Amino acid sequence: MPRQFGIGQLLILFAIFGVMFAVLKTINVHPIIYIDMSLFLCGIAIGQAVLFKGRRPRMASCIVGFILGLILGFGIFAIRMLFDKYFTGSYDPRNTDDFDFLFFALGFIILGGPFGYLVGCLIAGIFLRRERESDKANDDKDKSDDEMQ
């Protein structure tokens, strides 16, 4: 994983966030889930760069995905209960709006590691693709410089 990011890589990551937010808006989820998904994606990217000094990104993605899955999965329920208790007066577990929380919480808890791996592969693929493009551009530039001399 690179320690510096080019503008192309950042634009691709912003596009991924835009698509993710559009999908979440389309399925009409609670705003807490937007935050959890964003933290999950950012956590995986940071974990790949920091854990194992960037040398084992797949394993780092799985480990960070599992840990973040547990934290964010249980965090969804905790935040939801606190929100209902302190802002609406009481928590009603029979609330029909809790299905999306249950779905995402169980998804984070059970599938945090595999989701982390998939997100890590996506992020690593973006960086690998952009790195190859920049290497090719640098090689072409070097060849044209050599021809001019």
Give pLDDT, residue 74: 81
Burial of residue 94 (number of CB atoms within 10 Å: 0-12, 13-18, 19+): exposed
pLDDT digits (tens, 9 = 90+) for 60-95: 889 999 999 888 888 877 777 776 666 665 555 565
Q: Is residue 97 part of a domain?
A: yes
Residue 55 within a domain = yes
Q: Is residue 146 part of a domain?
A: no
Q: Is the pTM of this model over 0.75?
A: no
Domain assignment present for residue 24? The answer is yes
Distance CA 72, CA 108 (A): 7
Query: Which residues, 6 or more positions from 126, have their beta carbon under 8 angstroms from its beta carbon?
Result: 9, 12, 13, 16
Number of structural domains found in the chain: 1
Residue range of the domain that includes 49: 7-140
Dihedral over Cα of 33, 38, 43, 45: its sign? positive
Inform me whether the pLDDT recorded for 22 exceeds 90. Answer: yes
